[in-house]
Amino acid sequence: MSTTVTDPPSAAGNATDLAVEVEGITKRFPGVIANQDVTFAVARGTVHAIVGENGAGKSTLMKMLYGVQRPDEGTIRINGESVSLHSPADAIKHGVGMVFQHFMLADNLTVTENVVLGAEKLHGIGAGARAEITRISDEYGLGIDPRDLVADLGVGARQRVEILKVLYRGARTIILDEPTAVLVPQEVDELFGNLRELKREGITVLFISHKLDEVLSVADRVTVIRRGMTIDTVLPQDVTSRQLAELMVGSELPTPQTEESTVTDRVVLSIADVTLAGAGRTVLEDVTLDLHAGEVVGIAGVEGNGQAELVEVVMGMREPARGRIELEGTDISDWDVRRIREAGVGYIPEDRHRQGLLLDSPLWENRMLGHQTQEPASKNGILTNAAARTDTERIVREYDVRTPSIHVTVGSLSGGNQQKLIIGREMSHAPKVLVASHPTRGVDVGAQAAIWDLIREARREGLAVLLISADLEELIGLSDTIKVILRGRITGEFDPDVVTSQELGSAMTGAGKDAS
């Protein structure tokens, strides 16, 4: 599978002392395969990282280990014993605890109260519990005072309280879901110190992340997951952050081919000096880019570096603090979403379930969504259902949406077919600009190729496409220009004809200073 990394020494080492073994795990949701034949093993007393892009299936896998969901196929062994986990309580019984990305603490209670909540039987709720918390805190160097009010604690300390909570319940294996996402760099260092301490005391840590540098600095083993499958398990000293990124993003997928350039010199969408303030920091800073008719501009970046916010600003869901956005020379910066969409900006949202569709509504009603003010959805404020249905039939035919009828709920279709419906709908209103956010995320390979074709066709017809993707092959294959976004800034521009995934990967992590 992997091409650049030498044969992984995954099976080597102390194979007898495995804390967790996962073998052949498959989990399907309607229309989506979240995990397929996932296999890896975690040695006791190590930090084992699971890396993969968002949507690669990491979270589902962890939920199965924690008993929140159950695998359709495959076995989970904990300490050599095959287990069937029905609930988090089961998982705890087997010594597996999980710390979620979003903390589950009551602010107005003390540390002790938070820790004993739901585990009152273990050491009571009074002095006994406090003594135990102090003991755990000292043993693992967590530095937690049981009498503190949680509301007074910082983010890092709250995370340590969460870790303490699972240790208190007797966990010997701790799953941390994206633990660094909420931390500032100093806190990250502190957390890594704690993890090393835990490791020394024989605790096993499963660490989920997509921040490669962090993973390499703290993990003893790294398992890479892509599209629900285990790609490889590697030792951090054997790989560079670039190679890891390549494993994560993959290169053996059907490669999108760039065709003859159709780029014109007519600017359709112009974004100038856009700055967006977020909670406590700037999420976008002086972003400037032009989209020409017939051009696909790809935005490459590690998730969470401002891509989502850039899309929201362009679509009018957020107001930029500074800067201008012009559509064919008209300033649209302070227009609302509806007006922007009516003016000819098509939108393929990042999360089609949350933003692109009404899952419990039939296909033809979803055909109207986002275009409810335009024909064929409505006329003078009155819905024209019949016209919308007819047009939905056309979209189903022309865009090859596999469905038994346009009257079934869109939620019963597979991800790829849902996405084809969305693209068909957006393309049906003669857009000038198409904002495509992760257009092939979570769709099968066949639909992926079809969607690429559709985007290429849009480009041929003179659309300006803003393509945001985590899939570097997709970006390189479809884009005419690739811009790299890092911490809310456009930090580099690449020509997709000559750039390699490695170069992009290092520019995305800010590793290669020679980028632009």
Partner 1 sequence: MKFSPRRLVLTLAAPVLAVVVAFVITSLVLLAVGDPVAKVWSTLLSEPRPRTLVNIVNSAITYYIAAVAVAIGFKMKLFNIGVDGQYRIAAFAAALVAGQGWLPGGLNIVLAMLVAMLVGGFWAGIAGWLKVTRGVSEVISTIMLNTISAGLVGWGLRTWGTRAEGSNTRNTTEIPESSQLEGLALVADAPNRVYTLVVLAVLVGIVYWFIINRTRFGFDVRATGESESAAVASGVKVPRMVLIAMIASGAVAGLISMPAFFGADHSYGLNFQEGVGFIGIGIALLGRNHPVGIAFAAVLWSWLEKASDGLQLQAGVSPALVYIIQGVILLAVVIAYEVVARFERRMEQKQVTRQLDTATPEGASA
Site residues (CB under 8 A) for partner 1?
A: 30-31, 315, 317, 336-342, 347, 349, 351, 354-362, 365, 368-373, 377-378, 381-383, 385, 400, 402-405, 407-409, 411-413, 446-447, 449-450
* Cα dihedral sign, 219-220-226-229: negative
Residue number, 12 or 279, with CB nearest to partner 1: 279
124 vs 82: CA distance, rounded Å: 32
Identity of the residue, 148 or 351, whose beta carbon is nearer to partner 1 in the bound complex: 351
Residue 373 token pair: 């003010």
Taking the CB of residue 331, how many other CB atoms lie within 10 A of it?
12
Residue 418 near residue 352, CB atoms below 8 Å? yes
**Contact 25/64 with Cβ under 8 angstroms?**
yes
* In the complex, minimum distance from the CB of residue 59 to partner 1, in angstroms, rounded to a whole number: 19
- Tell me the closest approach of the beta carbon of residue 151 to partner 1, in angstroms: 20
Cβ proximity to partner 1: between 266 and 339 the closer is: 339
DSSP helix, strand, coil percent of the chain (3-state; round to 5)? 35, 25, 40
Q: Which is nearer to partner 1, 99 or 413 (CB)?
A: 413
Peptide bond into 146 cis (omega under 30): no
Of the candidates 372, 371, 367, the residue with the CA atom closest to the CA atom of residue 382: 372
Taking the alpha carbons at both ends of the chain, their separation in whole angstroms is 31
Taking the complex as a whole, the smallest distance from the CB of residue 422 to partner 1 amounts, in Å, to: 11
Q: Say how far apart CA 203 and CA 171 lie, in whole Å.
A: 8
Could you tell me the smallest distance in angstroms from the CB atom of residue 75 to partner 1?
A: 26
Shortest CB 397 distance to partner 1, Å: 13
| Min CB(398)–partner 1 separation in Å | 15
**How do 330-331 and 322-327 pair as beta strands?**
antiparallel
Is there a contact between 473 and 256 (Cβ–Cβ < 8 Å)? yes
Cβ 318 to partner 1 shortest distance, Å: 11
> In whole angstroms, how close is the CB of 358 to partner 1 at the nearest point?
5
Neighbouring residues of 501: CB distance < 8 A, sequence distance ≥ 6? 245, 246, 249, 251, 472, 473, 476
With respect to partner 1, which residue has the nearer C-beta, 205 or 345? 345
Nearer to partner 1, 120 or 375 (CB): 375
* Cβ proximity to partner 1, 321 vs 358, nearer residue: 358
Closer by beta carbon to partner 1, 120 or else 252: 252
Q: Give the integer Cα–Cα distance in Å for 433 and 263.
A: 13
Tell me how far apart the alpha carbons of residues 238 and 279 are, in angstroms, rounded to a whole number. 38
